[in-house]
A = this chain, B = another copy of it.
Amino acid sequence: MTTALHSRPGRRKNLQEVSLLEGPMLLLRSIRGFRTNQSLIWLATVPLALFGLSIFTFAAKAGPGLGDLTGPQAATFLADNLWLFIATILVIFMNAGFAMVEAGMCRSKNAVNILAKNLFVFALAVTAYWFIGYSLMYGDSIAGGFLYFGGLFFDADPSGAFECAAAGDTGCLVPSVDFLFQAAFAGTAATIVSGLVAERVKFGEFVIFAIVLSGIIYPISGSWQWNGGWLAELGFIDFAGSSIVHSVGGWAGLVGAMLLGPRIGKYVDGKAQAMPGHSMAIATLGALILWIGWYGFNPGSELAMDEYVAFVAVTTTLAAAGGAIAATVLSTLTSGKPDLTMIINGILAGLVSITAGCGNMTFAGSWLAGAVGGVIVVFAVAALDAAEIDDPVGAFSVHGVCGVWGTVVIGLWGVDGMDPGPAGIGLLNGGGLNQFLVQALGAGAYAIWTVVTCWVAWSIIGGLFGGIRVSEEEETQGLDIGEHGMEAYPDFASAK
């Protein structure tokens, strides 16, 4: 759905003549509290620059409209676009889920910081994705399936969608809904990082990283599959983004967590210390909001309204159930009691585990993929602690490890579609080794790309601003006071 990106090259050329770095640089500095009169000039300059570019008017459109469609065409066009818009809203709602899960699983002295990160990062991700991300992800190929570009500033002419519908195609989305759906995905990747670097990262530095991730790193690798790039050519399957979204978020955060090091007091004599979250109520609420949001994430990735949408919803639901049950049973077996954080992470693990294969798995296969994800997450949390990598909310175990698992499980017991009767394509159900290798290759490619680029990004940001970690004193006192000058719950007495 990239029609609109090419409609007005003239305006975009003009835009690029303006020094595009000036605004962001000032933004960076202002975020770190650097007071400058230049900022005021910037605030006045931007609107003027935009007026000069006549960015407040549209170009003309032509072509068919809703009234030109036949009955079946109108029915599919309207249902497709309505469904995708609803799916978009559900995915955007996931921001609330992430905010509640992450805040609830951290300590109250850092709650404002985590909430602020989640809230602000979505605003930045949408802006960055509008400015350049969507273009990098869904523009025209400029380097053989590895790099795409379609000009700056996404704009939306619905003509192409009507032409598509009038030609009898399905899944003809207007650019606005396609953009918003994709922008919400970009925001998700950034939000996952937030959990991994929680309770010790500086606010401004995190924010800058999130812009880079959602505006550049994520869109580039996303194009490899979802814009028909080299991985799509190879036959890689990642229906809704176990690798493309979740593992990218997980790897990006893992690099951050490793560069930051563990929180003060987390590991004593090689043993992980419990640092329980401050509100299981909002963490549970967040998990249920995420569960709901996943009905936009996975079934929405069908990018059309048809008989498969609900099918994907069932595979998604059963995987979540399998993950919850397996993680709960396993954590009860190993620790004697069912841990609520493990029920939560089991659900999320199940959901991530089916995200790639939600359109390529039977119901039983889905439940089992989720259940194995639920087992994996319990062991992954323990393994990270053994390696003294501090992941406060278990985000890498859920999104990184299960993101990889969800990708490769298709190569184990995936099927080649959602219609009854598809052939098995996995190692264990008659499909041979090929799909498994492609899935592993894709998962590996996302890991390498993300780890390398994010290492560079975190390092540059840290170098520019004197490190990405708050001071020891600030960390002990809590980031809410240090980074935001406020408390999350000022009316309540602390337990200590």
Contact = CB atoms under 8 A, between A and B. Distances in A.
Contacts of A54: 429
B325 A420 contact: no
A47 B122 CA distance: 40
Interface in A328-359: 328-329, 332-333, 335-341, 343-344, 347
Interface residues of A, number: 160
Copies in the complex: 3
Majority secondary structure of chain A interface residues (helix, strand, loop or mixed): helix
Interface in A448-496: 483-495
A259 interface: no
Interface stretch (A88-96, A228-236, A246-254, A389-397): A88-96
A495 B492 contact: yes
B340 A115 contact: yes
10 contacts: A33-B337, A56-B362, A85-B310, A99-B284, A99-B285, A112-B340, A123-B323, A156-B363, A176-B307, A279-B488
A66 B170 contact: yes
B174 A311 contact: yes
A83 interface: yes
A224 B120 CA distance: 37
Given A61-B421, A174-B307, A362 B329 contact: no
Contacts of A104: 281
Given A56-B426, A491-B495, A33 B332 contact: yes
Given A176-B311, A309-B85, A494-B492, A486 B276 contact: yes
Given A287-B119, A428-B51, A490-B278, A335 B415 contact: no
Contacts of A344: 119
Given A56-B362, A56-B413, 12 more contacts: A56-B361, A57-B362, A60-B420, A67-B72, A71-B72, A79-B79, A81-B305, A112-B280, A126-B318, A155-B363, A180-B310, A285-B285
A123 B30 contact: no
B82 A79 contact: yes
A61 B422 CA distance: 10
A55 B321 CA distance: 18
B424 A56 contact: yes
Nearest to A128: B321
Interface string A113-127: 001101110111011
A438 interface: no
Interface stretch (A139-147, A157-165, A400-408): A157-165
B31 A338 contact: yes
A322 interface: yes
Contact of A66 (B55, B306, B365): B306
A92 B316 CA distance: 13
A113 to B, nearest CB: 9
Given A103-B281, A174-B307, A288-B99, A85 B313 contact: yes
A162 to B, nearest CB: 7
A350 to B, nearest CB: 8
A70 B419 CA distance: 21
Contacts of A436: none
A412 B270 CA distance: 63
A419 B159 CA distance: 9
A331 to B, nearest CB: 10
A123 B324 contact: yes
A267 interface: no
A183 B292 contact: no
A115 B428 contact: no
Contacts of A213: none
Given A75-B78, A488-B279, A119 B55 contact: no
A201 interface: no
A415 B56 contact: yes
A177 B314 CA distance: 8
A320 interface: yes
